[in-house]
Amino acid sequence: MLDGHSLSEDRAFFRFGGVSHSPDHKLVAYGFDETGGEYYTIRIRDTETGRDLEDVIRNTTGGAVWASDGKTLFYTWNNERHQPCRVYRHRLGTPGDQDILVYEEQDPGFFVGVGETQSQRFIKINAHDHQTSEVYLIDAQAPDLAPVLISPRETGHEYSVEHHEDRLVILTNSNGAEDFKVVEAPIDAPGRENWRELIPHEEGRFILGILPFKAHLVRLERYEGLPRIVIREFASGAEHAITFAEEAYALGLGENLEYETTTLRFTYSSMTTPGQVFDYDMASRQRVLRKTQEVPSGHDPARYLTRRLFAPAEDGELVPVSLLYAKDTPLDGSAPCLLYGYGAYGITIPAAFNANWLSLVDRGFIYAIAHIRGGKDKGYRWYRSGKHLKKKNTFKDFIAAAKHLIREGYTSQGNIVALGGSAGGMLMGAVANMAPELFRGIIAEVPFVDVLNTMLDASLPLTPPEWPEWGNPIASEEDFRYILSYSPYENVRAQAYPHILALAGLTDPRVTYWEPAKWVARLRATKTDDSLLLFRTNMEAGHAGAAGRFDRLKEVALIYAFACTITSRAE
């Protein structure tokens, strides 16, 4: 229906955004970005003729949601500061400049998104920052009606809304439910005063998301650091979890487009097991493997091992570390290690399969993921204890993971290559300043290294929404001094640094290219060693790097070539 390769012809950059079909499957709305700047154009394709309609909607976030009539679309618009702040309603066959404004966010610290409930009964408008959310619903069968507010925003209250029969099912952290609970409310009276508990809060069981079907409620949660899928029967309240045998793995809820079904589609992988798609009958508890990711060069999972370690942090917390290595890799400290980390925005880094990693592992590397604070790998508390005035825990956890791998004999000091991007690139800059002796190399992709100056510039599109994550140095002297104490750019000092590779994107709206450029310039002027310091700006891409599948692999090859060269593993 849509051939990205042909659509990208005569374009230096092309990336799909969202793709959604009309209720009768006759039309497909798709978004695409032509610069890497994340301003998406939406077109609508007729699936019978293969031709696009005349409708053109510009400056969107890329996704669109259909109303039940198959003629009305809702989408989110980006302003000139790249803030998704408006939701519009588009009627097929009308010019984009005549679209109806449905919702406009007035707070520059909040972003807006649009989606739909699993039942497709309601259109959802979600306004949020990193710690607060607010949801509105529109009846998909009456798209001209005004959106209905579910619960007014309250700082620190996060919630999401789904629909089941005559009620709403709501995932919320209200009333101290830090790891979230599930409540229900009548459709015609959805306010918090009418919320009734369905699944109580349980400390240490972090509920990531819910998916209601007609007879079952599915929830994806994280327990003891690992994901699990739990099925609840609405009628009886009986629950069961889907079990897996491997020590560390990744789970996801796949494309589940039907509401009246007992079949759940989910995805599974581990660092040794390629991605798999399963259909699971929630009534009979039978699972069917529908697809396994193909590795064109061949892959034998029996040749590799996955391990999960726990590294003691400076304050006694235990940091999970996921490992992948070949069975014949010597564990005497001689193996080089690529240690990846992120640790921000509550994003959990899964122990999933990535065929790219095998290129390093087959050359004798140990590939490790440090599940550090700032993510939600061990629940919401794990996130909270790695943000704002506790941000340094993120960096200390990564250093603790490196030291633990050295102590356990997986690698040795000075034989670790650290890798991180975006907020993980800030992590790279921080640990390079704090513990350079641990690392052979640092690879920083689109690194957020000029934290203080960026957070002091309220005119930048992402700065106000980021204040809950990092702090507001404009309004708070405490925040200013704390960010100053770790911001990678300000803390470059006259010392020996590891080999460093920094990558940027010219059209990047999230981490502007001048951040890594400034950082590299200061490093060149200040560091006392003769280690490699390489800086590359992709002149035709943004935050996510090259758009084409093979062009992106070339970037991965550059990163791995750097790691192999500095560890003498290039072959």
Provide the annotated active-site residues: 422, 508, 543
| Location of structure tokens 């052979």 | 440
Environment class of 48 (CB within 10 Å of its CB; exposed 0-12, middle 13-18, buried 19+): exposed
Q: Tokens for 292?
A: 């396994």
Can you read off the two tokens belonging to residue 69?
């009539």
Phi-psi bin for 416: left (phi > 0), alpha (psi -120 to 50), beta?
Answer: beta
Please report, for residues 204, 341, 501, 514, 524, the alpha-carbon distance to residue 520 in angstroms, rounded to integers and kept in the order given. Answer: 41, 20, 9, 10, 6
Structure letter (DSSP) for residue 377:
B
What is the separation of C-alpha 413 from the centre of its chain, rounded to a whole number of angstroms? 31
User: How many Cα atoms are found within 13 Å in the side-chain-facing hemisphere of 108?
Assistant: 13
H-run or E-run covering 433: helix 423-434
Q: At 523, which helix (H) or strand (E)?
A: helix 514-526
What is residue 59's three-state secondary structure? strand
* Alpha-carbon span 271 to 180, nearest angstrom: 28
DSSP single-letter state for residue 438: G
Which residue is associated with the tokens 């204040």?
A: 467
DSSP string, 278-333: EEEETTT--EEEEEE---TT---GGGEEEEEEEEEPTTS-EEEEEEEEETTS--SS
Distance CA 254, CA 558 (A): 32
Q: Do the bridges between strand 287-292 and strand 276-281 make them parallel or antiparallel, or are there none, so unpaired?
A: antiparallel
Radius of gyration (C-alpha) of the chain in whole angstroms: 24
> What is residue 392's three-state secondary structure?
helix
> What is the Cα–Cα distance from 169 to 127, expressed in whole angstroms?
18
Q: At 155, list the tokens.
A: 């700082």
